[in-house]
Amino acid sequence: MADNRFFSARGPLSLGEIALKIGGNLAKGVDETLTVEGVAPLDLAGPRDLSFLDNPKYATAFERTRAGACIVHPRLASRAPEGLLLILSEQPYRAYALAAQMFHPEEATGGDTYGERGVIHAGSIVHPSARLGEDVTIEPGAVIGAGVEIGRGTMVGANASVAKGCTIGKNCFIGPNVTVSHAHIGDRVILHPGVRIGQDGFGFAMGLPRHEKVPQLGRVIVQDDVEIGANSTIDRGAGPDTVVGEGTKIDNLVQIGHNVEIGRGCIIVAQTGVAGSAKLGDFVVLAAQVGVTGHLTINSGAQIAARGAVVHDVPPGQQYGGVPAKPIAEWRREVVELRKLGRRKKQSGDSGE
């Protein structure tokens, strides 16, 4: 069970209502009225917990689990220990995510951090012209600027700053120490602690006698259901806007430059950098520490392997990797050939010096 000092759980919930929510089926003979009180990993779960098995690598833990119920793919159901109640699903991990959201809905949407939901705390500063919807939470130390609009049910964490003129939609989570400026943010957006939205893009006219700053006159548009990880930064546009498309998920420590356009449903993993004016289509995946050069296009469905350096446009649906990034099969062949070359040099005694 999750530590109740941090995670409040709704329950108990019946196996029948869980199966209905997650699109699973109860195994033959399972009473749909039986209940569980929470979710837990296979090796930590107790008789009142629901667990799951997705990866066959953990089948041994599944065989030994003390969980009361488990979500499992039908092909692995026969390995269940005696007495374990099963919910069958073709996508156990996705089904578990939906079940866990039933018990811990705030962990999927962002909860308050101070402990008082729906309160405009006296220790915050809210400009008289700001417009706040019903059930908005403003925690201590937060500053809400002139003309800001914040939708119903949104939570703004301690010491966060929402600068003048910004708009934030409904049921958002703006974490502690977040700064938002020059931005319009949609509904159900999660900004984890330390996120920076809307600061200057890095724009200078370089030369003598000094580098001249180019005023950054665009905005940041964050569409609905976007999640942005801790200490990530998204610069506002220089003229056109910087755009983050609906449903995109951005990990911690990611840098998005000015004028970047990110499509719907993209996944951008930790320590990735996307330079100014690059464009990502829908459902693009950038693995950890990818670097994307400015003014190029990564088309919809493309995937870039970790530490790839993208210096040319990437066609739709392609997998690229390496430095510079190239089609994944080509990159892998090069890695194999370099390994062979290294072995031959070693066997011949050639140090390469």
CA–CA separation, 239 and 202 (whole Å): 13
Sequential DSSP letters for 153-185: T-EE-TT-EE-TT-EE-TT-EE-TT-EE-SEEE
Place of tokens 């062979």: 340
CA–CA separation, 329 and 222 (whole Å): 35
Q: Hey, which residues are catalytic here? A: 258
Strand order in the sheet with 167-168: 131-132, 149-150, 167-168, 183-185, 220-222, 242-244, 261-262, 279-280, 297-298
User: Residue 5: is it exposed, middle or buried by C-beta count within 10 angstroms (0-12/13-18/19+)?
Assistant: exposed
The amino acid occupying position 335 is V
Q: What is the CB neighbour count within 10 angstroms for residue 78?
A: 7
CA–CA separation, 86 and 52 (whole Å): 9
- Map residue 204 onto helix, strand or coil: strand
CA–CA separation, 312 and 322 (whole Å): 12
Task: Work out the angle at residue 129's Cα, subtended by the Cα atoms of residues 124 and 131, and round it to the nearest 5 degrees.
Answer: 75
Which H or E element spans position 334? helix 328-348
DSSP state of 231: T
- Map residue 292 onto helix, strand or coil: strand
